[in-house]
Chains A and B, each alone.
Chain A
């Protein structure tokens, strides 16, 4: 496998980054970097780390990092996650207020520990902290429950004080969304799998309305809705398809409609990308743009119940009128 980290791999250009991924030769991982500057979204690092666990350590190459910002990869834990010795011997500064380096999470206990420890490091306000805890909690749990990924989830976060934004990425090399959703739903392709995964009340564990005793199929819908409201981007890449929620037009005022069908949101769907066996989820959350978390939850609740009513209505036999 080959993958390239450029000088600007963020959500706006995530498809461009994905196209650098070459999944052939799955027993080797060759990571190359821009020669002058490396600047990437945490989801990029999470994906590379997850891929790195699929190959023997000695078959991972991350050499010749010449970019002036190459130490960033070290501080975000990429060399350690890939089992490579870092070429940087910099003095590590206190990470408080800036980032959470790549972390591997394999159990719910590790998840709980990660969530309780990350907030003091990010130095967020209580209301902002709850939103981030919520997103991390739901995304990691999705991996642990549905991905069947032996190496669990790789997570990284970065807080950007300049625009008051948290960038979050999580990746696994499990079965992917299509296989997961297919366990309970007959689907025709990756677009439909992503649509179902983002629809409230749909889970790969059952077709029953209301879900199972432990799964309701609401986590991704909540997170996509948070990104809709805060006018941010949200990406899911799994298999060879990539769904991207595009930023809401700033000229449109007022609280947005939260669609149960993600393809009714302003989005871009790309298919035919290099096949990634697993799932990457990336989200940016502009904390200054997010209304009170409680108001957001109230809007999500209304959208969720409406979606269930619509589905039930669609499944109910109605009077037929004939001549």
Chain B
């Protein structure tokens, strides 16, 4: 499954409610069904750490580093990539 992030969050990802809903309503069910999820960030210039945390932290707690075999990040700007890596790093450190 591929999720077009820009259509969900616009050009800047900061709304944690949307992040939580996206995780609960789309990503978690897809992962539970054994699907690979591609988050396509084309058109999204930036994201807050809070947004990415709300979208990813529980998934990292559940799947650990194996999550990154199941969820792929596509067409990320350098800023988005840095924030995703930040959240991944501190969550994996926290486990």
Contact = CB atoms under 8 A, between A and B. Distances in A.
Interface of A: 108-109, 111-112, 115-116, 126, 129-130, 133-134, 137-138, 141, 200-201, 208-216, 218-219, 222, 293-294, 297-298, 300-301, 304-305, 308-309, 312
B67 interface: no
Q: How large is the interface on B (under 10, 10 to 19, 20 to 34, 35 or more residues)?
A: 20 to 34
B5 interface: no
Contact of A214 (B20, B46, B89, B95): B20
Contact of B53 (A129, A218, A305): A218
B90 A137 contact: no
Given A137-B50, A138-B48, A112 B10 contact: yes
A214 B49 contact: no
B90 A297 contact: no
Given A297-B83, A298-B82, A305-B93, A214 B48 contact: no
Contacts of A309: 93
A305 B82 CA distance: 13
Nearest to A293: B79
A218 B50 contact: yes
Interface of B: 10-12, 14-17, 20, 45-46, 48-51, 53-54, 57-58, 61, 78-79, 82-83, 85-87, 89-91, 93-95
Given A210-B61, A211-B57, A297-B83, A219 B93 contact: no
Contact of B57 (A109, A138, A141, A216): A216
A108 B16 contact: yes
B89 to A, nearest CB: 5
Nearest to B51: A137
A216 B49 contact: yes
Contacts of B15: 108-109, 111-112
Given A141-B16, A308-B90, A216 B78 contact: no
Contacts of B51: 137
Nearest to B95: A210
A304 to B, nearest CB: 5
A147 B49 CA distance: 19
Contacts of A137: 12, 14, 48, 50-51
A141 B15 CA distance: 8
10 contacts: A109-B15, A134-B14, A141-B14, A209-B93, A210-B90, A213-B54, A216-B49, A218-B50, A301-B82, A301-B85
Given A116-B10, A209-B93, A219-B48, 7 more contacts: A111-B15, A112-B15, A116-B12, A216-B87, A216-B90, A218-B49, A301-B89
A210 B94 contact: yes
